[in-house]
Chains A and B, each alone.
Chain A
Amino acid sequence: MLWLEGVSAGYGGVTVLRDLSFAARAGEVICVMGRNGVGKTTLMKCIMGLVPATAGVVALDGEAMQALPAHEVPRRGIAYVPQGRRLFGPLTVAENLAVGLMARNKGEAVRERVLDLFPRLRERLTQVSSTLSGGEQQMLAIARALCLEPKVLLLDEPTEGLQPSMIAMIRDVVVGLRATGVATVLVEQRVSAVLGMADRVAFMDQGRVAEVLDCAGLQADAPQFRRYVGV
Chain B
Amino acid sequence: MGFGPFLLLALLEGTVAAAVLALTAVGLSLVFGVMRVVNVAHGEFFMLGAVVAWFVAAAVPGHAAMGFMLALVVAPLVVAGVAALADWLVLKRLNYDPEATIVATIGLLYILQQSALTFFGPTPRPVEAPFTWRIQTPWFGYSGYKLFVVLAAIAILLAVWAFMTRTRAGLVMRATQVDRQTARAFGINVDRVYAGTFALGAGLAAVAAVLVVPVSQAHYLMGGDPLLLSFIVVIIGGLGSLRGTLVAALVIGLGDGVISMFFSPTLAKIIATLLVALVLVFRPQGLFGAKA
A and B from one complex: yes
> Which residues from chain A sit less than 8 Å from chain B, CB to CB?
48-50, 69-75, 80, 82, 86, 88-91, 95, 98-100, 102-104, 144, 148
Across-interface contacts of B185 in A (CB, < 8 A):
48, 50, 70, 73-74, 80, 82
Interface of B is mostly: helix
Q: In the assembled complex, which residues on chain B have CB atoms less than 8 Å from the CB atom of A103? A: 186-188
A90 in contact with B178 given A98-B171, A102-B172 (CB within 8 Å): yes
A-B contact pairs, 6 of them (CB 8 A): A74-B185, A82-B185, A86-B182, A88-B174, A89-B178, A99-B188
Q: Which residues of A contact B178 (CB under 8 A)?
A: 88-91
Contact check, A70 vs B174: say whether CB atoms are below 8 A apart: no
Residues in A whose Cβ lies below 8 Å from that of B184: 48-50, 70-71
Please report the C-alpha to C-alpha distance between residue A71 and residue B181 in the assembled complex, in whole angstroms.
Answer: 10
Q: How many residues of B contact A (CB 8 A)?
A: 18
The chain A residue sitting closest to B176, CB to CB, is: A88
CA distance A203 to B172 in the complex (A): 37
Cβ contact of B179, chosen from A80, A88, A98, A100, cutoff 8 A: A88
Which residues does chain A contribute within 8 Å of B181, judged by CB atoms? 50, 86
CB-contact partner of B168 in A49, A71, A102, under 8 A: A102
Contact surface of B with A, Cβ cutoff 8 Å? 168, 171-172, 174-175, 178-179, 181-190, 290
Q: 19 other contacts beyond A70-B184, A71-B188, with CB at 8 A cut-off? A: A48-B184, A48-B185, A50-B181, A69-B189, A70-B185, A71-B184, A74-B185, A80-B185, A86-B179, A88-B175, A90-B290, A91-B178, A95-B175, A102-B171, A102-B186, A103-B186, A104-B187, A148-B186, A148-B187
How many interface contacts (CB-CB < 8 Å) are there between A and B? 65
- In the complex, what distance in Å separates the CA atom of A148 from the CA atom of B185? 11
Q: Which of B174, B182, B186, B188 has the most CB of A within 10 A?
A: B186
Task: Give A160 to B285 CA distance when docked, in angstroms.
Answer: 31
Closest residue on chain A to residue B181 by CB atoms: A50
Assembly CA distance A75 to B175 (angstroms): 17
Instruction: Please state if B171 and A95 are interface contacts (CB–CB under 8 Å).
Output: yes
Bound state CA distance, A74 and B188, in angstroms? Answer: 9
Chain B residues positioned under 8 Å from A99 (CB to CB) = 171-172, 175, 183, 186, 188
What's the Cα separation between A103 and B168 when bound, in Å?
A: 12
- Minimum CB–CB distance from A200 to chain B (whole Å) comes to 25
**What separation, in Å, do the CA atoms of A20 and B76 have in the docked complex?**
51
Bound-state Cα–Cα, A163 to B135, Å: 69
Given A88-B174, A90-B174, A91-B174, also A102-B187 (CB < 8 A): yes
A100 to B171, CA, bound (A): 11
Min distance, Cβ A51 to any Cβ of chain B, angstroms: 10
Choice from B175, B190, B290 contacting A91 with Cβ under 8 Å: B175
A148 to B186, CA, bound (A): 9
Min CB gap A108→B, angstroms: 15
- Bound form: Cα–Cα A105–B222 in Å: 45
Q: Which of B172, B181, B190, B290 has the most chain A CB atoms closer than 10 A to its own CB?
A: B181
CA of A48 to CA of B186, assembled, Å: 10
Separation in Å of the A111 CB from the closest CB of chain B? Answer: 14
- Are A88 and B182 also in contact (CB < 8 A) when A102-B168, A102-B172 are? yes
Task: For B184, give the chain A residue with the smallest CB separation.
Answer: A70
Evaluate whether A71 and B182 lie within 8 angstroms (CB atoms) in the complex, with A88-B175, A102-B168, A102-B172 already known: no
With a CB–CB cut-off of 8 A, which chain B residues contact A70? Answer: 184-185
